Amino acid sequence: MNRYFAAIAGIVAVIVCAGLIGCADQNKVGEEPVDVEPAGPPLSPEAIASAYNPSVVKVDRLWARTELRITGTDDKGEAFDETAEGHFQFIRPRGLALTVNKLGETYFCLGSNDTQYWWMDLRKPRNALLGDHAKASPRIAARFGVPVHPLDLIDLMGILPVQAKGSRTAWSKDGRHIVLSGPSRWGRKEMLFSSDGRTLMGVRLLTSRNELLCESELGETSPVEFREAPDATAIVPVRITLHIPSRGTEVSIRLYDPQNRGAAMKKTVFDPQALLSAYNIESSRVRLIDQEPSATPARTIPPTSPSAATPDRD
């Protein structure tokens, strides 16, 4: 059981590149090592945005059931293969909530809103880590070894519109795909597109030293159900595979029944104070990630309504 929980904790830590730094390889995501002579220059960043953005621009909110699977080798050299379920929720631009469940019980909670991000371990004794986006840094990530930017997961899942400003395009090394490169939070992001710019095939996050943090492969897609606008259309990837080369780990994420629930989406999942109350986490077990080690690690959280007791459910 301890190994199971360790693996499930690793799912959440791994999928947001929790301080993982490895050496960048030479091939782009999904590339075949076969050279093809490109037929002219690649599409411009503006052309990529025009081709891709209509499929995701209306996904300002997203709810989905999730299935998670992580495979790899542990510190003892033993192979593991673990699964879990959960819920994924997103409100653009910075609202994110991911829970990891087993047999109906929530064990971990990862989230973000416009100003804060958090990681909650709901095993006893329950603990929580909270941080401010404005203060996040690679130094903090290295010190705590926990997710600093849950929003990196959004980049890897390919559900955000492309930002053409500050980006550039080039043909991939195999000559078959277009790589859109631009700045990321702490380094650089590469997005691999089909030659017509309509299909996003994967995303890479790299450090400022060009070291690979994490990369995703995006597979099957699904239309999004719009509860408040039945005629609206959008398509999102629902099979996401994350590769973490420094650990030899692979994480598969499957989204089911993706929906834009509009105003019906629960706001409590994006409120850390409501979550701390709902999950009965004592204020003495709440640590501020941004504080220096010598600082007092506790925060007093005002009580909130118990209506948030099942924040990730329907």
Distance in angstroms (rounded) separating the CA atoms of residues 86 and 272: 18
Q: Closest by alpha carbon to 273, among 260, 257, 264, 286?
A: 286
Distance in angstroms (rounded) separating the CA atoms of residues 313 and 161: 27
- What count of other Cβ atoms lies within 10 Å of the Cβ of residue 153? 25
**Residue 16 is encoded by which pair of tokens?**
């947001």
Whether the bond into 125 is cis, omega within 30 of 0: yes
Contacts of 142 (CB under 8 A, 6+ apart): 19
DSSP readout, 125-193?
Answer: SPEEEEEEGGG--HHHHHHH-S-S-THHHHHHHT-S----TT-EEEE-TTSSSEEEEEE-SSEEEEEEE
- What count of other Cβ atoms lies within 10 Å of the Cβ of residue 253? 25
Q: Span 2-308: which CATH code?
A: 2.50.20.10
Would you say 218 and 198 are in contact if contact means Cβ atoms under 8 Å apart? no
Q: Is 75 exposed, middle or buried (0-12, 13-18, 19+ CB in 10 A)?
A: exposed
Distance in angstroms (rounded) separating the CA atoms of residues 116 and 82: 30
What per-residue confidence (pLDDT) applies to 6? 54
What per-residue confidence (pLDDT) applies to 56? 96
What per-residue confidence (pLDDT) applies to 115? 93
Contacts of 293 (CB under 8 A, 6+ apart): 143
What per-residue confidence (pLDDT) applies to 302? 38
- In sign, the C-alpha dihedral spanning 135, 140, 144, 146 is positive
Q: What is Dmax (Cα atoms) for the chain?
A: 63
What per-residue confidence (pLDDT) applies to 300? 37
| Regions of the chain short of the pLDDT cut 50 | 1, 16-28, 30-31, 146-148, 295-309
DSSP 306: G
What per-residue confidence (pLDDT) applies to 223? 97
